[in-house]
């Protein structure tokens, strides 16, 4: 039999929303697995710092300024990566917004801003990457979703709607592109401890509330998310497409 291959040598990965949090750590994890990484976000200064850290650790990286609300800019950025590296094998669609609003307090601008990034921007990033990947005959697209796109979470009406859309979009793209060499999947984490979530998760009352819904007994780490992303990006994940991989400590099992 052939043994599973999780290595990413000779692969080129793009991570959107890479200037902080989960995206930052995903970029470093992909580089550690052997991929050349293009880190993309609006904050070019942070991206340059991340790229320099990856290079200092022996990896290959470039920084690309990108706002996923700018459809033409997405295509230009991805073509820049393709020209620079000569390939574009993996897209991790990580750019996203999160907010807590009671449904009765959601404004039109709240809705439009989150959908513009979490769903509209993600789709057009898939489209731009997909065009390159379909032309070369191979590729992996991994969309960052959430457990909130699978089960309802109070005060997350807009966020849950956007991530539910990500999940079904992932399935449709997998149906259209899998037989042409491009797999499309989503990773749906639970609460992940990052500098951005620390303000809430460091509060004992809030953490207790979260842990009461997590049978595994702890919140997630960025390494937990990276493990799922690397699996789906690697040759070992070649048979998986159209799947939403929950990294949720059994939150949605109840």
Tally the residues of the chain: 254
For the chain, give the DSSP string.
Answer: -PPP----TT-EEEEESTTSHHHHHHHHHHHHTT-EEEEEES-HHHHHHHHHHHHHTT--EEEEE--TT-HHHHHHHHHHHHHHHS---EEEE-------B-GGG--HHHHHHHHIIIIIIHHHHHHHHHHHHHHHT-EEEEEE--GGGTS--TTBHHHHHHHHHHHHHHHHHHHHHGGGTEEEEEEEE--B--TTTHHHHTSHHHHHHHHTT-TTSS-B-HHHHHHHHHHHHSGGGTT--S-EEEESTTGGG-
Predicted confidence band of residue 99 (pLDDT cuts 50, 70, 90): confident
Would residue 45 count as lying in a domain? yes
Q: Which residue has the higher pLDDT, 100 or 130?
A: 130
Task: Assign residue 133 the CATH number of its domain.
Answer: 3.40.50.720
pLDDT surpasses 90 at 74? yes
Write out the residue range of the structural domain in which residue 93 sits: 12-191+222-247
Mean pLDDT of 80-90: 97
Report the share of the chain in percent with pLDDT over 70.
100
User: How many domains, in total, are found in the chain?
Assistant: 1
Would residue 6 count as lying in a domain? no
Predicted confidence band of residue 245 (pLDDT cuts 50, 70, 90): very high
Would residue 160 count as lying in a domain? yes
Choose, from 3, 159, 193, 231, the residue flagged as catalytic. Answer: 159
pLDDT in tens, 146-202: 999 999 999 999 999 999 999 999 999 999 999 999 999 999 999 999 999 999 999
By the 8 A CB rule, do 107 and 36 touch? no
Would residue 198 count as lying in a domain? no
Examine the residue annotation and report whether 231 is marked as an active-site residue of this protein: no
Mean pLDDT of 230-252: 98
Would residue 133 count as lying in a domain? yes
Would residue 211 count as lying in a domain? no
pLDDT of residue 16: 98
d(CA 31, CA 172): 29
pLDDT in tens, 187-209: 999 999 999 999 999 999 999 99
d(CA 48, CA 29): 17
Would residue 200 count as lying in a domain? no
Mean pLDDT of 26-52: 98
Q: Quote the pTM value.
A: 0.97
């Amino acid at each position: 039999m052939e043994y599973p291959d999780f290595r990413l040598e000779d692969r080129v990965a793009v991570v959107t929303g890479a200037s902080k949090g989960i995206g930052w750590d995903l970029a470093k994890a992909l580089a550690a697995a052997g991929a050349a990484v293009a880190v993309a976000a609006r904050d070019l200064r942070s991206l340059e710092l991340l790229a320099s850290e990856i290079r200092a650790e022996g990896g290959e990286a470039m920084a690309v300024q990108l706002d996923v609300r700018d459809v033409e800019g997405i295509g230009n950025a991805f073509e820049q990566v393709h020209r620079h590296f000569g390939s574009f094998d993996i897209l991790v669609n990580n750019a996203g917004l999160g907010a807590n609003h009671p449904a009765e307090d959601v404004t039109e601008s709240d809705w439009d801003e989150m959908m513009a990034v979490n769903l509209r921007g993600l789709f057009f990033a898939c489209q731009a990457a997909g065009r390159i990947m379909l032309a070369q005959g191979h590729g992996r697209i991994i969309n960052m979703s959430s457990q909130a796109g699978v089960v309802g979470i109070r005060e997350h009406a807009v966020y849950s709607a956007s991530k539910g859309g990500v999940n079904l979009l992932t399935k449709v793209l997998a149906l259209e592109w899998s037989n042409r060499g491009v797999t499309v999947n989503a990773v749906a984490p639970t609460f992940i401890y990052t500098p951005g979530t620390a303000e809430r998760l460091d509060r004992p009352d809030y953490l207790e509330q979260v842990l009461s819904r997590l049978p595994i007994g702890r919140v997630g780490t960025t390494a937990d998310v990276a493990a799922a992303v690397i699996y789906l990006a690697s040759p070992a994940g070649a048979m998986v497409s159209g799947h939403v991989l929950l990294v949720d400590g059994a939150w949605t099992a109840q």
